Amino acid sequence: GFEAIGLPKTQETTFSSLRTGGRFVVVGFASERMQLDTGRTMYREMEIIGSLGCRAVDYPRVLELARQGKIKVKELVTAQFPLEEINEAFDLLRTGKGIRSVIVP
């Protein structure tokens, strides 16, 4: 399961939905900690992977999934800034609140 929201509740829900041998990929940044049942992780041979993004070779597939609507890009963006306001965007990022902001030319 992929978690891209960054909230402990959605992380815990995603993790709890995994089957035996499942993989939990954390993409969303969370400033709060989530509860993790390490015993369940061990007995069910689950994997936990952190990711800051995708590799360059993955871009074509990711873009195609977004084009097909299988990745809801608009739901992941929390703020948009015009290029002229890039410094304000960085200020927000430094507070930890602008993690999923985009700059629009």
74: number of Cβ within 10 Å:
6
pLDDT tens-digit readout, 7-40: 888 889 999 999 999 999 988 877 888 888 899 9
Paired with 80 in beta bridges are: 102
Express each pLDDT in 49-98 by its tens digit: 888 776 778 888 888 998 999 988 888 888 899 999 999 998 988 887 77
Which domains are assigned to the chain?
1-53 (3.40.50.720)
Helix (H) or strand (E) holding 12: helix 8-16
